[in-house]
Structure 1
Amino acid sequence: MITTTLFEKIEQWLNENKWEYRSRENAGIIEIDMGLKCELKQCQVIVWMKEGQCVVMGRVPIKAEEDARERIAEYFCRVNYGLYSGHFDLNYSDGEIRYKTYLPESTDPDAQRENIGEALIRPAMMFDAYGPGMMKVWRQEKDPAQAMEEM
């Protein structure tokens, strides 16, 4: 079961690495704003302790327009099929786009530090890797299969 200890370890990692973040410890939430290399420009990473799990979610500040949601959903389905860890989500109701993974708790301190760093950076890395294809699908420059072939 995830404890506040993991939350404290995450904050310690962030402080040691001089990352700026906002913490709402009572709610079990840490928020980090990260820049992206792709045209999406930024990603908000949210660490969320809930029901014994530590979820790490990245979301971008744009929402898919209703007429693009089906294409983007197909693209994400194609992307998700080959992913080792984590997945892209699209909220069909409001168009929110996010990448979600989890952070396991480890008794090995070195492994835990490495896991924290990888989990925190992964959403931004995934948006940098797959965001350009998503935008091509959104703008109808490529269909989802073509966008995946370019990856």
Structure 2
Amino acid sequence: MGMLIQSVASINPLQLWSDSNSPVHLQNATVTLIQQDGEIIECRLSFPVTPELYHRIDSEALFNLKPEVRTPLTNSHFQPELDIHIEATLKPDRLPLLRPQATNAEEAAFYLSNLSQQQASSPDSYIPSETNHPFTLLETENWLALSVKQQQNSGEIGYRTFWSYVSPQTLNGNSVSEEELSENITRFFTDVVGGSLDSAVQEFADETVGTLSNFFQELTSKSSLNPSMFQTVLNFFTEDDWPFTKIQGDLALRSAFQGKNGTWDCYAKVREAQKQFVFYSICSVNAPEDKRQAIAEFISRANYGTIIGNFELDFIDGEIRFKTSIDVEGDTLSSALIQSLVYTNVMMMDEYLPGILAVVSGESSAVDAIANIEGE
């Protein structure tokens, strides 16, 4: 598991929208972005509200503040003259809308602020049925409240919700196991009932378990329909029985391929923010300095007429590779697309590898090597 990286930025003001199409005005909010292996796994929003606004949030169950997912209020009662602080996390099925727009909290805050201004200036431009519209990031129903707190002279009071008991990885749908979910629910109910399970509490527990089960079923369904690009790539190479290793700190995999004419390393890399996937076959030999002009001619001749992909030469160290790539902005990366790019790539390297080796060794000129391969 990669290291978690957290960044924080302020956003002020911010306008969200409720199911009743009524705005929720927030001041002095803070955006926290949590990333793992370069991918956003959680986006949190923290903000103070007046007691009047909290009453509305409470009564309308905004930010999914349903009674059945709250722990009891600790120590005292909220005082009417002090602000109440709420921390919420973005629903995981909304993260794909944010990932292409932000690599840190400042960029996330800037993007949400711009969306808020656009929505405020033209509130009728968004139709609620457009489930994948960026404006859904501004809907309170797409945020899960984690905690509600108020700082009083006697100390902090407040309550937590079930969502604060769940790790970002689980909430993100990457590892929703029955064992982990059961443990989370157990810890939640321990705080809710304090070990007392009378019939009334049991009824409450049954209702809560139903609510949570429905949520995670929906989460798993959406996650399977809209996996991250990197997860799609992982799934492909796993299902296609490729041995590979994950490159630490990058959305990339390293593998090897054995063709008819040799064996070489391959790299599969995802650029989530740019919605791009690239696959490389790295030639098993580098071109020595005195052969790089000849190899440059060889790959230039090889590239001419090639429809998918191209050979590349690094003049600094002589590395030779074949690259295939795709940009899926506005679309979805599928296993079929990955398969086409990967196998086109390795077949091209395998076909031209004898010519590369002949030119590198000095056994053939670039012209003759290409002629031998292409039958000219």
**What TM-score does the superposition give when structure 2 sets the normalisation length?**
0.36
Contact 2:322–2:345 (CA<8 Å) still a contact in 1? Answer: yes
Confirm or deny: 8 A CA contact 2:324 2:342 kept in the other structure.
no
SS in 2 for 1:18: coil
Shift in Å, 1:26: 4.4
Higher mean C-alpha deviation, range 138-147 or range 1-10: 1-10
Counterpart for residue 35 of structure 1: 258
Contact 1:33 1:45 in 2 (8 A): yes
Aligned twin of 1:148: 370
Look up the equivalent residue of 1:137 and give its one-letter code: V
Identity within the alignment, %: 26
CA distance in 2: counterparts of 1:59 and 1:99, whole angstroms: 7
Question: CA RMSD for the aligned pairs?
Answer: 2.3
Larger CA deviation: 78-87 vs 51-60: 51-60
Q: CA deviation at 1:148?
A: 1.6
Partner of 1:76: 299
Q: Secondary structure at the match of 1:61?
A: coil
The answer on whether the counterparts of 1:22 and 1:31 sit within 8 Å (CA) in structure 2 is yes
Higher alpha-carbon deviation: 12-21 or 98-107: 98-107
Amino acid at match of 2:270: M
Please show how residues 108-147 of structure 1 align to structure 2 within 5 Å. 112-147=334-369
| 1:82-115, Cα deviation, whole Å (9 max, x unpaired) | 21011111111111111111034354x8xx2221
Contact 1:22 1:30 in 2 (8 A): yes
Matched position secondary structure for 2:285:
strand
> What is the CA distance between 1:32 and its match in structure 2?
1.3
The alignment's TM-score, normalised by the length of structure 1, stands at: 0.84
Deviations 1:112-136 (A, max 9, x none): 2221112222332111111111222
The structure that has the greater radius of gyration is 2
What is the DSSP-based 3-state SS (H/G/I as helix, E as strand, rest coil) of the residue aligned with 2:268?
Answer: strand
Distance 1:104 1:135 in 2: 32
**Residue equivalent to 1:48:** 269
CA–CA separation in structure 2 for the residues paired with 1:58 and 1:138: 17
Contact 1:45 1:123 in 2 (8 A): no
> Which protein, 1 or 2, shows the higher relative CO under an 8 Å CA cutoff with sep ≥ 6?
1
Contiguous gaps of at least 5 residues in structure 2: 1-95, 101-226
Does the alignment pair 1:100 with 2:320? no
CA displacement 1:45-86 (0-9 Å, x = unmatched): 111123512111110232111111110110000001121011
How many residue pairs are counted as aligned between the two chains? 146
